[in-house]
């Protein structure tokens, strides 16, 4: 009788572990899919941030070029005794 009870208990334990393993596999799959989705979202956000930073850098560079052109025209105008507008035309 004891052997039958032990076999029955072992069978129940084996079935429980099998069900638990299947549940664990499902949970792991859901966790992996969630991590992939989070990574994609974060990468999209980083890409948008990089695009914004690039646009800001380009605008800053254009401002520096404009200021350098104005300074060069001012220096040329002073050296050649002409207006800044005349120096910019040259």
- Each residue of 66-88: pLDDT tens digit? 999 999 999 999 889 888 888 88
Q: What is the pLDDT of residue 28?
A: 79
pLDDT on residue 51: 95
Residue-wise pLDDT for 5-15, tens only, equals: 555 666 656 65
| ∠ CA 6-21-25, rounded to 5° | 175
For the chain, the first-to-last Cα distance in angstroms comes to 111
- d(C-alpha 30, C-alpha 86), whole Å: 70
Q: Does pTM surpass 0.85?
A: no
**If you average pLDDT over residues 8-26, what whole number do you get?**
63
Structure tokens belonging to residue 70: 């104005």
Domain ranges in the chain are 2-89
Q: Show the tokens assigned to 18.
A: 């099998």
3-state helix vs strand vs coil in the chain, percent to 5: 95, 0, 5
* Residue 17 C-alpha from the chain's centroid: 40
In this prediction, residues 34-56 reach a mean pLDDT of 93
């Amino acid at each position: 009788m004891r052997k039958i009870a032990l076999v029955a208990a072992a069978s129940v334990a084996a079935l429980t572990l099998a069900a638990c393993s299947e549940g664990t596999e499902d949970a792991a799959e859901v966790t992996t899919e969630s991590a992939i989705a989070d990574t994609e979202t974060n990468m999209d956000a980083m890409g948008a941030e990089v695009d914004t930073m690039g646009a800001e850098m380009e605008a800053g560079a254009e401002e520096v070029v404009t200021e350098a052109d104005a300074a060069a025209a001012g220096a040329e105008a002073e050296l050649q005794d002409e207006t800044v507008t005349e120096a910019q035309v040259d």
